[in-house]
Amino acid sequence: MKTVRFGIIGLGLMGREIASAAARWCHLEDLDFRPEITAVCSRSLPPGRVDWFKRNFPKIDQVTKDYRELIASPNVDAVYCAVPHHLHAELYSAIIRSGKHLLGEKPFGIDLAANAAILAAIRERHDVMVRCSSEFPFFPGVQRLFQLVESGAFGRLIEVNTGFLHSSDLDPNKPINWKRQVRQNGAYGVMGDLGVHVCHFPFRAGWTPLNVRAVLSNIIEQRPDGGGNLVPCETWDNATLLCETADKQGKRFPWTLKTQRIAPGQKNTWYVEIYGTNASARFSTKNPKRLELLNYTGGEQAWREIDLGYTGAFKTVTGEIFEFGFSDSILQMVAAFLHEVAHGRPLLPAAGCVTPEETALSHRLFTAALRSQAAATTEAV
């Protein structure tokens, strides 16, 4: 059993989510690796938050406000880093150069130049595993879709739609935070926040966007600052991208990506729809057990609903008769990252975390989308 000692930088929403996955490692079966949280770092260290980590992870021997101290620790092999986007280039590059493996959060750099700086650091260190976090493809329904793509079941692709829809910003009185400010979140706005999630599956399926027409919306232009004032809320709330896309054989099809923070009726809804000449499929986390399939062999067209069980890529103690959820997808993603650290390759092509090259392609797409919005033109990716 190989133990990978983890340091966590950024103890916010996602830092605790990943730590909690490490805490229930006994849920996974037949693995020859395990994580151990040994160090935590955050710009602010609220006592309650530090206490939560220390109470639940007794092997933590370092609590620091300075990430440089954490990456200098000989007691850390790998780092999970979840900090605001303007810090990605500096922290990720330093982590990689320190020789620690990195599971970094999206968008992997606040913009194209920051992403390129991170990829330059990776080229200097071939001995570290660097991956980007994206959990939704680990839902059993999406793993099944990967198998169908690989088997060629869809025939010629007619159209693909992917999306990630939230209503978290529907309330205009919600105070502004760093995710609504260009300086910290980036000019991509919602695309930087949610975009990698909707690219992961299509990129891994081998589908490459060639050009894009984007329509971006800033729906709520001011928000309270928490001190009684209204301040500009300058980031794009919603983005719809239409891409001419090539499959592995170079055949072209339209791919629509939607990322929305203001989508009434939606709460963390991630979906994929694939329409092909031989088969079509639809999956959404809104109904995480349901996979819809339509096989067309002539005659009547009929959708059928498959009620999926708990069948992730990595085997667990949960029986297949039960349901799969968000924190299960995080657990599977951490297992996928550590599998790549321990074995140098994913368990299955479909069970791999987003690669740095895939993040670079997403940055080219989102940068082209910004140009498209500014000029109301179709832009090459």
Residues binding ligand NAD (CB under 6 A): 9-14, 41-44, 67, 82-85, 87, 105-106, 133, 135, 193
* Min dist. Cβ of residue 348 to ligand NAD (A): 21
CB of 19 to ligand NAD, least distance (A): 12
Residue type (1 letter), 226: G
CB of 62 to ligand NAD, least distance (A): 13
Q: Evaluate whether 58 touches 80 at the Cβ level (below 8 Å).
A: no
User: Least distance (Å) from ligand NAD to the CB of residue 217?
Assistant: 20
Picking from 81, 92, 26, 267, the residue whose alpha carbon sits closest to that of residue 170 is: 267
- When the beta carbons of 41 and 142 are compared against ligand NAD, the nearer one is 41
Return the number of the residue (182 or 306) whose C-beta is nearest ligand NAD: 182
Q: Residue 266: how many CA atoms within 13 Å on its side-chain side?
A: 19
Nearer to ligand NAD, 102 or 157 (CB): 102
Min dist. Cβ of residue 345 to ligand NAD (A): 23
**Structure tokens given for 195:** 């975009």
- Give the Cα separation of 61 and 269 in Å (integer): 38
For residue 361, give the nearest of 89, 119, 81, 79 by alpha carbon: 119
Which residue, among 185, 19, 163, has the nearest Cα to 86 in the 3D structure?
185
* Closest CB to ligand NAD among residues 92, 283: 92
Secondary structure element (H or E) that encloses residue 182, with its range: helix 182-185
Nearest distance, CB of residue 31 and ligand NAD, angstroms: 22
Smallest gap from residue 1 Cβ to ligand NAD (A): 27
Residue located via tokens 């490459």: 208
Q: How far is the CB of 50 from ligand NAD (least distance, A)?
A: 11
**How far is 106 from 109, CA to CA, in rounded Å?**
7
Report whether 235 contacts 218 (CB < 8 A): yes
**Looking at beta carbons only, is 46 or 155 nearer to ligand NAD?**
46
Closer to ligand NAD by Cβ: residue 268 or 287: 268
Q: Which residue is it, tokens 């959404």? A: 284
Q: How far is the CB of 79 from ligand NAD (least distance, A)?
A: 11
Least distance between ligand NAD and beta carbon 122 (Å): 18
Other C-beta atoms lying within 10 Å of the C-beta of residue 379: 18
Residues 75 and 78: their CA atoms lie apart, in Å, by 10
Listed in sequence order, the DSSP H helices in 237-295 are none
Residue placing its CB nearer to ligand NAD in the complex, 257 or 293: 257
> Contact, 287 vs 192, CB < 8 A?
no
Dihedral in degrees, nearest 10, Cα atoms 346, 19, 89, 189: 100
User: Which residue's CB comes closest to ligand NAD?
Assistant: 12
Say which residue the tokens 């791919």 belong to: 255
Q: Which is nearer to ligand NAD, 84 or 137 (CB)?
A: 84
Q: Assess contact for 291 and 305: CB atoms under 8 A.
A: yes
Instruction: Report d(CA 378, CA 381) in Å as an integer.
Output: 10
Question: In the complex with ligand NAD, which residue's Cβ is closer, 88 or 245?
Answer: 88
> First and final CA of the chain: distance in angstroms?
44
Nearer to ligand NAD, 293 or 338 (CB): 338
